[in-house]
Amino acid sequence: MNTKRKLITFDWAIKRLLRSKANFGILEGFLSELLKEDIIILDVLESESNKENKTDKFNRVDLKVRNSQQEIIIIEIQYDREYDYLQRIFYGVSKTAIEYMEEGKAYTGITKVISINILYFDLGSGTDYIYKGTTRFIGLHDHDLLELNEKQKQLFKKDSIESLYPEYYLIKINRFNDIAKDTLDEWIYFLKNEEIKENFTAKGLKEAEKKLSIMALPEEEQKAYEHYKDDLRYQASMFESSFGDGYNEGQAIGIEKGIEQTTKKIGLKLIQQGATIETIAAVTGLSVTAIEHLISNES
């Protein structure tokens, strides 16, 4: 008999549990299955982007780790639609590459950054649920792929040009059809359903099943987790209820204007609900000045 075991969400685990070396095996398992190589995490990198700063919409990276190849992996989990999300991950990767480049060092010392984005909304118009983005150079006339020469391979210790540049992974959770065809799919199933089936064999999942049980949390942590889940549902409801009206308006007055109106409506609803300025800023991305202006107009 297969009994479902209620597990905490991966984003909560990242914020509370997976920063501990004792739990690195869970995260290493997920990264190994996604990147198709054995990942060993050396440490969790605490930086400005890792700190909780609800008023800065760019500082929403959930976790940064350094692997055994000295590459930095950014993991971000995103629930709300953001129309500029692709630009945001570009910003995050660029900021991280600069942040970890030692001053005065040659460009060969630039750190490889891998951006992994776990999305609970449909970004773009693709039909797949996992996308990988890399940088390649293709000849305009001969259509050949530019490659590293032998000296460059020795210098960079890489086999291809694209391996020097950032990699981007977009995992669109809601697109997954719940049929696990391989071990990576088993992880996607867990990310979507917070459940691990008995026959799953993916790296890290058995450890996750033991350590991410809600019942294994102290009572205080269980209450904090339930409050967090309620807050997520509330934010999603606020966004969805306003999105339809804003979209319809956008058809008539322009998409950009419609998005602006949607954001303001969300802000107004949150004001009416008595939310703090910090919460409104985190949900909408509005500046403190803009929120204060909405408050003054409302009163």
Report pLDDT for 177.
93
Q: How confident is the model at residue 145 (pLDDT cuts 50, 70, 90)?
A: very high
Question: CB-based contacts of 162: which residues, under 8 Å, 6+ apart?
Answer: 134, 135, 136
Say how far apart CA 110 and CA 245 lie, in whole Å.
45
Report pLDDT for 95.
86
For the stretch 52-76, pLDDT in tens is 444 444 445 678 888 888 888 888 8
Say how far apart CA 231 and CA 224 lie, in whole Å.
11
For the stretch 181-197, pLDDT in tens is 999 999 999 999 888 89
Report pLDDT for 239.
55
On the question of pLDDT at 200 being above 80, the answer is: yes
Backbone angles phi, psi at 219, to 5 degrees: -55, -40
Strand order in the sheet with 72-78: 41-44, 63-67, 72-78, 113-119, 167-172, 130-133
The radius of gyration of the chain's CA atoms, rounded to the nearest angstrom, is 21
The reported pTM is: 0.71
For the stretch 98-140, pLDDT in tens is 887 765 567 777 888 999 999 888 888 889 999 999 999 999 9
Q: Dihedral of CA 253/88/126/196: which sign?
A: negative
Q: How confident is the model at residue 171 (pLDDT cuts 50, 70, 90)?
A: very high
Query: How many CA within 13 A on the CB side of residue 94?
Result: 7
pLDDT average, residue stretch 273-289: 77
